[in-house]
Amino acid sequence: MKFIVSSSKLLKQLQTISGVINSSNTLPILDNILFEIADNNLTISASDLETTMSTTLNVEADENGSVAIPAKLLLDTLKTFPEQPLTFLIDTDKNCIEISSDQGKYALAFQNGDEFPKAPGIEAASTALIHSDIIATGINKTIFATGNDDLRPVMSGVFCKFSDSGLTLVSTDAHKLVRYTRHDVTSDQSAEFILPKKPLNILKGILAAADEEVKIEYNETNAKFSFGSIVLTCRLIDGKYPNYNAVIPQENPNKLTIDRLSFLNSVKRVSIFSNKTTHQIRLKIAGNEMHISAEDLDFSNKADERLSCQYEGSDIEIGFNSRFLMEMISNLETEQTHLEMSAPNRAGILLPEGNSQDGEDILMLVMPVMLNN
């Protein structure tokens, strides 16, 4: 079997899908990329068993067939070539591929393509069509708040909920929580599932550059994203997602409005002086003034800043992990931001200015650090 392909086009596609490959695999075949040729179409796939991703490009081929080629060797080689047509000659008797370039010839062993695990088909699937921008934004807004605890796998993913009132994405690590809602993406059937972090991170990268409708098919166990020539199939996280709505405080009489960037910069500066393990900072709000302070008793380091703000409510003193605050504030985009609080031991709510405009609704929760004076 023989096919000819442009080196740069192939490289680009390989780089797109190679993010799926784990650095160490229990199944050796997963170190490979599957090449399948059918009627002058080359489909390349990578998999870690949980997530499988493939893409298709046109080639000139003399027959159909499939082989699994070592991913690292191939990528390392292709990266060095200037744009040119490459000829892949597959010798099934010798179990060897010969790549011919303008510069020379390279031979590498391959494995039988039939041994490569197939992506599961999605039976009895529901389907949704969502624009790539919306998905990319949704992932960007939520993925940072996911957890990393192997013993609580549901929190390591992003919860997705389709309903007639909109699409909701939720992530939480039990200390912070983000709920991102699009009212302009509605679905007749309601559905809920938890997507793992890894495929979302891969999608985030590619979707930012795409500008097209993404077809999402899903059932109880798997989800499949198709757009352009790319198809990504992933297994869903099994389990019950925590009841996030129950932990969102409803009565928040203390409302702060502040310039987002000056708030962010103050938190960043002050946090340098906070305890190196807890990153605790203290917000003291009274009148139209907020004091942000931190202290590291181990080194006698201390910082205190004053910011003017708009504030309605009673005076409050509340502690937060500055890391969480920084991540959240920098993830909002508006000029002003709102922080709503009820008590120093209840979650604070961060909201962008003018929420719910453009069909988008963002709510971030952050649990405080208990202050002992």
Partner 1 sequence: MIALADCNNFFASCERSIRPELEGKPIVVLSNNDGCIIARSNEAKALGYKMGEPVFKVRDKLVRNQVHVFSGNVALYRDISEKIMHILASECNAMEIYSIDEAFMDFTDVAAPDEKAILLREQVLKETKIPISVGIAKTKVLAKLASRIAKKHTQSGVFVLNDKELIERALSYYSVEELWGVGRKQTHLLNDKGIFQASQLAKTDEAWLRRHMKIGGVRLARELNGIPSFALEENRPSKKSIMTSRSFRREVASFGVLNEVLSNFASSCAFKLRKQETIAKKIAVFIQTNRFKSDVKHHYGYLEVEFPVATNDSIEIIKAVYEALDRIYDRDCLYKRAGVIVSDIIPDKEIQLNLFSDQDISKRAKLMKVYDDVNCKMGEGTLRLSIQGTEKQWGQKKAPIAFRN
Nearer to partner 1, 266 or 322 (CB): 322
Residue closer to partner 1 by CB (options 131, 279) is: 279
367 binds partner 1 (CB under 8 A): yes
Quick check: 175 binds partner 1 (CB under 8 A)? yes
Neighbours of 184 (CB within 10 A): 13
Hey, which residues between 307 and 336 contact partner 1 (CB under 8 A)? 319, 321
Nearer to partner 1, 258 or 364 (CB): 364
Task: Quote the CA–CA distance of 257 and 49 in Å, as a whole number.
Answer: 47
Of 44, 177, 258, 285, the one binding partner 1 by CB under 8 A = 177
Sheet containing 336-341, strands listed edge to edge, beginning at the edge strand earlier in sequence: 191-196, 157-163, 166-172, 176-182, 360-366, 348-352, 336-341, 254-259, 310-312
Residue 144 neighbours by CB distance under 10 Å: 16
Q: Compute the least distance from the CB of residue 370 to partner 1, in Å.
A: 4
Binding pattern to partner 1, positions 101-120, x when CB under 8 A?
A: --------------------
- Taking CB under 8 A as the rule, does residue 372 contact partner 1? yes
**C-beta of 216: minimal distance to partner 1 in Å?**
28
275 CA to centre of own chain: 29
Using CB under 8 A as the binding rule, whether residue 280 contacts partner 1 is answered as yes
347 binds partner 1 (CB under 8 A): yes
**Best CA proximity match to 145, nearest among 174, 124, 117:** 174
Looking at 40, 92, 345, 356, which residue binds partner 1 (CB under 8 A)?
A: 345
300 binds partner 1 (CB under 8 A): no
Helix (H, G, I), strand (E, B) or coil at 6: strand
Query: What tokens does 299 get?
Result: 């080194």
In the complex with partner 1, the residue whose CB is nearer, 137 or 280, is: 280
Nearest to 264 by CA among 284, 281, 285: 281
Burial of 124 (0-12, 13-18, 19+ CB in 10 A): exposed
Q: Which amino acid is at 121?
A: G
Give the strands of the sheet with 51-58, arranged side by side: 111-112, 65-70, 32-38, 41-47, 51-58, 230-235, 222-227, 213-218, 126-131
Q: Report the alpha-carbon distance of residue 23 to residue 72 in Å, rounded.
A: 10
Binding flags for partner 1, 216-235, as an x/- string (CB under 8 A): --------------------
Phi and psi, residue 144, nearest 5°: -65, -20
Given candidates 39, 164, 298, 358, which one binds partner 1 under the rule CB under 8 A? Answer: 298
Q: What is the smallest separation between the CB atom of 154 and partner 1, expressed in angstroms?
A: 11
Q: Which of 149, 220, 315, 335 is close enough to bind partner 1 by CB under 8 A?
A: 149
What's the min distance (Å) between Cβ of 359 and partner 1?
Answer: 27
Which CB sits closer to partner 1, 177 or 290?
A: 177
Contact between 278 and partner 1 per CB under 8 A: yes
**Site residues for partner 1 per CB under 8 A:** 149, 151, 172, 174-177, 242, 247, 275, 277-278, 280, 297-298, 319, 321, 345, 347, 365, 367-370, 372
